[in-house]
Structure formats: C-alpha cells, structure tokens
Amino acid sequence: MADARDGDAQLAVDRGSPVEGALFREALRHHGGGVAVVTVAAAEGPRGFTVTSLTAASLHPPLLSFYVNHDSRSWSALKAADQIGVHLLGAGHRDLAALFARRGADRFAPPTRWRSGPGGVPLLADATIRIVCARREVVPVGDHFLVVGEVLGVERNGPGGDPLLYAHGEFGRWMPIGEAPGTPIDELDLADRVEW
C-alpha cells in the first residue's frame, strides 16, 4: 500500500510521470468535504448519487459544479437532463448519503422521501438544503466530467443544522474549531476573516 513520505526533501517529482493512484487517493483521505446528493429525472425513473465534489463555482452568476465519474450509471441520465437537483446533507443524513453511494440499491424507495420539483427534478424531502439548477456546461476532465449548473432556486428545510462531512473514509459532523478540545478560541486569529 502506498504511503505518504515525511519531509519536503523527499518530494521529488517527474513531470512525465504522475503520482501513483493509490498514493493520490490516500492523500485525499485527509481532505474533508461536505456531502451532497445530486438528482435528475430520467425516462426510467429518478436517479441520484452522493458527491463530495460539490463546489460553489461563482456567485455572480450563481454557479455550482461537481464531478461525476465516467462509469457512474447516473451519467447517462445526467447528460440528458436540463435540470439538476443538488441536496446539501446534515449530520443526521449519514444513511441517506450511504444509500445514494451504494451500487444496486433502490435509492428512491422508502425510507427515502422525495417529490417531483420544477421540471420533474427529484427533490429529497429530508435534505437540509435543496437546490435546483440548470445544466450549463459539461467538461471532460480525466476519468470524470465536470458539470456546471446555474442555480435557479434554493429551498431550506427548517432551521438547518450541522453539515455532514466526509474525511478519512468516514462520515462525520462539522465542529467549529473554537469548540474543539484543546483549541482555545482566543488563540485563533479570526480578525482578518473574509466573509464567504
């Protein structure tokens, strides 16, 4: 199993030879990401899958983006869809996130609660935030497609709550760093914080 090495001195690179996939994957386990579910309507029924690749791409105009694997069975539905549902999940939605990543699962059968939204896009009733976007661009990037959507509408489900996160191969919940044990809030330099 590939292992990250300690110390800058050993970070040798060769432009003609990208890093081994296993080492790249292991490094990315240290990158925490928010968890979302992307949905689309398809002729054979609703489709959806879990992503951590969701990014706020632009505020003016409001654009978001995510990556979908070439091999994803949701891809054929996604490339044909005009509108896309994006659902931001909370700490209580671990099972929903796991279900929407499980191959062969009937993701829209009970206990999943959903309804058809604008343009028939499937909207998950339990998600913290529901977003409907229009598909704007699809760019092939390596073994994924980058999908860019223009945000048409946002709906909040109640007061919100802590987002669901994924890191080290596990789901977890967000905790403000000031509340983390051993990190007194007055040691953090928040003075120059940018509102984003």
Contacts to ligand FMN by CB under 6 A = 35, 49-53, 66-69, 72-74, 101, 103, 166
Residue 7 CB contacts under 8 Å (≥ 6 apart), including other chains: none
In degrees and rounded to multiples of 5, residue 149 shows phi and psi of -120, 140
Residue among 18 and 142 whose Cβ is closer to ligand FMN: 142
Q: Where are the beta strands (DSSP E) in the chain?
A: 33-34, 36-42, 45-51, 55-58, 63-69, 83-88, 114-116, 122-124, 129-141, 144-156, 164-167, 170-173
Residue 80 CB contacts under 8 Å (≥ 6 apart), including other chains: 42
Residue among 105 and 185 whose Cβ is closer to ligand FMN: 105
Closest distance of CB 175 from ligand FMN, Å: 18
Closest distance of CB 127 from ligand FMN, Å: 15
Residue among 8 and 170 whose Cβ is closer to ligand FMN: 170
Closest distance of CB 101 from ligand FMN, Å: 4
Closest distance of CB 167 from ligand FMN, Å: 9
Residue among 174 and 183 whose Cβ is closer to ligand FMN: 174
